[in-house]
Amino acid sequence: MKNILKDFIIFTILVICFLFVLQNPTYLKEQTIYAMQLWITKIVPILFPTFLINDFLFQTNIFYKIEEKTKINLFYLISIISGSPANAYILKDQEADVTKIMAVNKYTSLLFLYTFLKQIFNPQLALSLIVLNILCNLILAFFIKPPKLKVQIVKRKFSEQFLLSTKKAIDTLLTIAGTVLFFNLLPIRKINHLFLRTLLFSVLEVTSSLENILLSPLSYSCRLFFTIISLSSSGLCIDFQIKSVLNSKQLKYKTFLKYRLCHMILFLSFGLLFLLL
């Protein structure tokens, strides 16, 4: 009975989507162009070099020296800089359950995030939000206690590493392009209610969310509120990308969502205190 209901819901959604496509060809064309422009102008120029630089840095001893001196797990450092789903590729070959590890290491790429946030607010607040996001993940890690993880990076020749890194970066960016396009084709922009539209963007797709917040007439406090939600969730779009890399045995998605909800509550609480001070 449960499977029949699930199939019926999926079928109904597909029919609705099909009817929407037939009735709104102009909207779909505009959103496709918008999503691809967003991907080409905002995502690729920042994330592509970030992915390549990270991979080449891993071939040096820099991160290992930092890990040795600070006792901070290498994967946590990688996650903060590269973000998700790039960090999920590191866990791809892990046989163990990595739900808790991913739950406290879900980030948007550091450079990408800072570039957007300083446009919405200012450089100081942008850094404060990034640090606060990291702090909330650390607090969450303290309570749920993710298992220890040792990242093993294989040393390769420059030419081999360049080809592998380029292929991985392109694969990741194409996955991001597909999910960004999918979520932008949803009829969210047809919603007239500004708060509802902004909330949906905040939980669905981080790039469109930050772009929407940047261009919206929202007050400072509302911008901060929706930005925190967007940073904490990083969008279901990124969840789809993570799930495309990790299998169901590695990532228990319902548990993962519960942990991320706890992170959002923490982040919003600290954000509220920040507003009151």
Question: What's the confidence (pLDDT) of residue 109?
Answer: 86
Q: Is the pLDDT of residue 72 over 80?
A: no
In the structure encoding, which two tokens stand for residue 215, read together? 């261009």
Task: Read off the pLDDT of residues 200-252 as tens digits, 9 standing for 90 and up.
Answer: 888 888 888 888 898 888 888 889 999 999 999 888 888 888 888 887 767 88
**65 pLDDT higher than 80:** no
Q: Find, among 83, 172, 89, the residue nearest to 130 by Cα.
A: 83
pLDDT in tens, 249-276: 678 888 999 999 999 999 999 887 876 6
Q: Which of 103, 134, 133, 124 is nearest to 271 (CA)?
A: 133
pTM value surpassing 0.85: no
Domain residues of the chain, as ranges?
A: 2-276
pLDDT of residue 132: 92
The pLDDT of residue 274: 72
State yes or no: pLDDT of 73 exceeds 80: no
Averaged pLDDT, 4-24:
69
Q: Using 50, 70 and 90 to split pLDDT, how confident is the model at 154?
A: low
Q: Lowest mean pLDDT of 31-45, 51-65, 205-219, name the range.
A: 51-65
Q: How does the average pLDDT of the chain come out, rounded? A: 82
Average the pLDDT over 17-40 and give the result: 81
